[in-house]
Homo-oligomer: A and B are copies of this chain.
Amino acid sequence: MRGVVLHATRDIRVEDREDPTIKEPTDAIIRVTAACVCGSDLWPYRGTDEVKEPSPMGHEYVGVVEEIGPEVKELKVGDFVVGSFFASDNTCEICQAGYQSRCVHAQPVGAEGTQAQKARIPLADGTLVATPGQPDEDLIPSLLAASDVLGTGWFAAVAAEAGPGKTVAVVGDGAVGLLGILAAKQLGAERIIAMSRHADRQALAKEFGATDIVEERGDDGVAKIKELTDGLGAHSVIEAVGTQESMMQAIRATRPGGHVGYVGVSHDVELPGLELFFSGVHLHGGPAPVRRFLPELIQLIWDREIDPGKVFDLTLPLEQAAEAYQAMDERRAIKAMLTI
């Protein structure tokens, strides 16, 4: 099969790779319908995360079940499925508490790469959720978004306790931040402040439910959020970047007793204990337990109540993956979808 491999900084190649095979009786093999490039794929692409050996890429996917292991009971060949970037049994105590990304048997799906024609999905019954039927073509981007960016933005909004009567600020205007806005809107937030300085992203933010745009960053951005909230700060802040600046911006923009939901993978972040202590905020985040939200998100998409697929402003065939990475790296694209 063909699949995307990162060889070194900014060296993305589409190559012939071995077809995946069932290794464990709980595995499924899917034919990938669409995959995409994640903001977190850019960390190794840019060399921020070291690339020690050629690495198969991708952890977001939708596809059709092609083969199942003997212990797979819930899925059948031909099902159209959406899964998360962490395989999970969905039965352990941690999964049952809603933290499937930290399942006691969790395995990163991305280890073998889903930017490929096929993928092996471990713990298939726990990991994959079948759609109600074969989806219309135009639903594919939204279902693909559910696999990571929508689920992650949704988790951030839930972690930030976005809801009725709340003012929610969103740090980060990438796909996750934008879908955090969509989630906050769905969860009933009263006011949603998008922090963005890019016209195209501002437009999408408003389409997804943002009521205000703040272009300032850092301390100026915090001052602006305070100005918009009677000097108190937002009730809920979504952090969707993962840098020291963005984390501090999020914490400082939150009122005492408010909630920060952070989903940007932390890079070189050190949180100062004393400032955090006196901030009085709630802090919750981490790798989103997307699986928790998948049934609900798939239904909302199926019923055409949300259209998260709008974050894909570039669609390319798998063979042009290198261009997809480059466009996202250069911020020419918010998010790139790869059709397979």
Do residues B286 and A280 form an inter-chain contact, with CB atoms below 8 A? yes
A231: chain B residues within 8 A (beta carbon): 104
Give the number of copies in the complex: 2
In the complex with contacts A102-B256, A104-B231, A273-B268, A284-B282 CB distance below 8 A: yes
Chain B residue nearest to A266 in the complex (CB): B273
Number of contact residues on A: which range applies? Answer: 35 or more
Residues of B within 8 A of A281 (CB): 284
**Which residues 68-110 in A have Cβ within 8 Å of B in the complex?**
93-94, 97-99, 101-102, 104
Q: Does A331 contact B (CB under 8 A)?
A: no
CA distance A231 to B103 in the complex (A): 12
- Asked if A279 is an interface residue, CB under 8 A from chain B, the answer is yes
A-B contact pairs, 23 of them (CB 8 A): A93-B232, A94-B232, A99-B257, A99-B280, A101-B256, A101-B280, A102-B257, A102-B280, A104-B232, A256-B286, A262-B277, A266-B273, A268-B273, A269-B273, A269-B274, A269-B277, A270-B270, A271-B273, A276-B283, A278-B287, A279-B286, A282-B283, A282-B284
Residues of A near any B CB (own CB < 8 A):
93-94, 97-99, 101-102, 104, 230-232, 242, 244, 247, 255-257, 262, 265-274, 276-287, 289
